[in-house]
Amino acid sequence: MERLQKILARAGLASRREAEKWIQEGRVTVNGTVVQKLGTRADLVKDKIKVDGKLIRRPPPLYYLFHKPARMIASMRDPQGRPSVGKLLEGWGKRGRLFPVGRLDFNSSGLLILTNDGEAAQRLMHPRYGIKKLYRVKLSGCPSEEELGRLRKGIRLEDGVTAPAKVRVVEALRKNAWVEIEIGEGRYREVRRMFEALGYFVEKLIRIRLGPVHLGLLAPGEIRPLSVQEITTLKKSVGL
């Protein structure tokens, strides 16, 4: 069950604010009854929802892989007016049809899945399904095996001990290092805070895999539809 204005927006008919106006004007019916109360919930699969007498049909599921560049908010809007995924989708004419799955902070880049499949998105974000996320991280120094061992066992942060992570040094440079780390949690800025707890500053952070889906060679700012095989394996990973 979702709010009626959200259903209309996701169907690509209007922005959520415009959909609210339609509801208040009495243009929307659910199972033959005019609904004018904002916040009313409905189910697009089970209920017959109409706007101006025209039946709303569930849009086909869409799945895209987007390489979010750094310095972009991975949400539909930002009160501070910074670049956001929502603004980008609006420019592509896809706002209301797609939304980002999960978080990727402002200064991080990499794989972000965009979809209109609410159930799949919810499961991908839910810790019960333990979807693994792989990151490539450039640090201000090169961590020792002993330090990496702390991450592999779980390291204490202000919001509790992290789950064990898989981590390895990919390339040790003169003053810093590239490291790959795989986690199954979704805490706020978790990877950054894990390395900060060891005394390292994260210079770059790129998500290169989410579950079975890989970023590959997609350049920052580019988007592509997921293949049929990618969609199948992604949905299978969350029991769909």
**For the chain, how are helix, strand and coil distributed in percent, rounded to 5?**
25, 30, 45
Count CB neighbours of 173 within 10 A: 11
CA distance 64 to 213: 11
| Residue of 78, 105, 117, 159 with catalytic role | 105
Give all strands (DSSP E) within the chain, no chain letters. Answer: 2-3, 28-30, 33-34, 41-42, 49-51, 54-55, 63-68, 99-100, 109-115, 133-139, 156-157, 160-161, 166-172, 177-183, 202-210, 213-214, 223-225
Whether the Cβ atoms of residue 65 and residue 223 lie closer than 8 Å to each other: yes
**Token digits of residue 138:** 């450039």
The pair of structure tokens assigned to 53 is: 């007498």
- State how far the Cα of 104 lies from the Cα of 130, in Å rounded to an integer: 17
Q: What angle do CA 77, 221, 58 make, to 5 degrees?
A: 55
Residue 150: DSSP 8-state: H
Q: Is 43 designated active site?
A: no
Catalytic residue numbers? 105
